[in-house]
Chains A and B, each alone.
Chain A
């Protein structure tokens, strides 16, 4: 089961966990991605997490709420 935790909550939890590492979460991920690339390691997971943290409300593929004409 997916459970009821929202994507926004998950994003916040990840940000808080990374903030405990003493750095801006995106910066923390960017540094590890850079190291991984230099060492030839896979960085797909880190890059995914970076995209998730960077995304605001437009987190879903192909989803657009219809504009309401006023």
Chain B
């Protein structure tokens, strides 16, 4: 059976959600168009889309991002948006994009987006959680914990120098 749709929101509530995600995306440095769609997706809460120019890039945030934000066992809205901003950095940052584009798999790009996201979040818990996400992914791909954690450290240093 399909999951039920999100609880209905009135126009003011939808606008408030859009304003909130737009504000957070801006704080994280996102450039482009931000949309809020009051539906459940299979994205995990948000999705970045690359356009012809950064100003036309698209960040779509879905209802589940707000569900997660109030769930203590889930990522915050800020962490979710930071991960998506990580994708934009991978695509748009001159030095980082040059090193990455065409060289990493989709799965690898997800890990790098989390690592970048961990560098741009203000809250320590968000940074911690995105590091954990990247670490678990690397370990699941067969890296030993030592190697996985060292690799994340190296990548954070590398990206940190460029940001």
Contact = CB atoms under 8 A, between A and B. Distances in A.
A10 interface: yes
B129 A18 contact: no
B52 to A, nearest CB: 21
25 contacts: A1-B46, A2-B80, A4-B42, A7-B73, A7-B75, A13-B136, A17-B136, A17-B145, A32-B146, A42-B153, A44-B156, A45-B153, A46-B149, A48-B131, A51-B125, A51-B128, A52-B129, A52-B131, A52-B132, A55-B125, A57-B72, A59-B129, A60-B72, A60-B74, A65-B72
Interface in A4-44: 4-8, 10-11, 13-14, 17-18, 21, 28, 32, 42, 44
B153 A7 contact: no
Contacts of A65: 70, 72
Given A1-B44, A61-B124, A49 B156 contact: no
> Which has the most chain A C-beta neighbours within 10 Å: B47, B76, B132, B149?
B132
A67 interface: no
Nearest to B148: A17
A7 B110 contact: no
Dominant SS among interface residues on chain B: helix
> Size class of A's contact patch?
20 to 34
Contact of B123 (A2, A4, A52, A61): A61
B72 A45 contact: no
A-B pairs with lowest CB-CB distance, top 8: A2-B44, A61-B123, A48-B128, A8-B73, A52-B132, A61-B125, A48-B131, A1-B43
Interface residues of B, number: 39
Nearest to B146: A32
Contacts of A2: 43-46, 75, 80, 83-84, 133
Interface in B95-143: 110, 118, 123-129, 131-133, 135-136, 139-140
Nearest to A28: B145
Given A3-B110, A7-B132, A63-B70, 18 more contacts: A1-B46, A1-B84, A6-B74, A10-B129, A11-B132, A13-B136, A13-B140, A14-B132, A44-B156, A45-B152, A46-B149, A48-B127, A48-B128, A49-B131, A59-B72, A59-B73, A60-B125, A62-B123
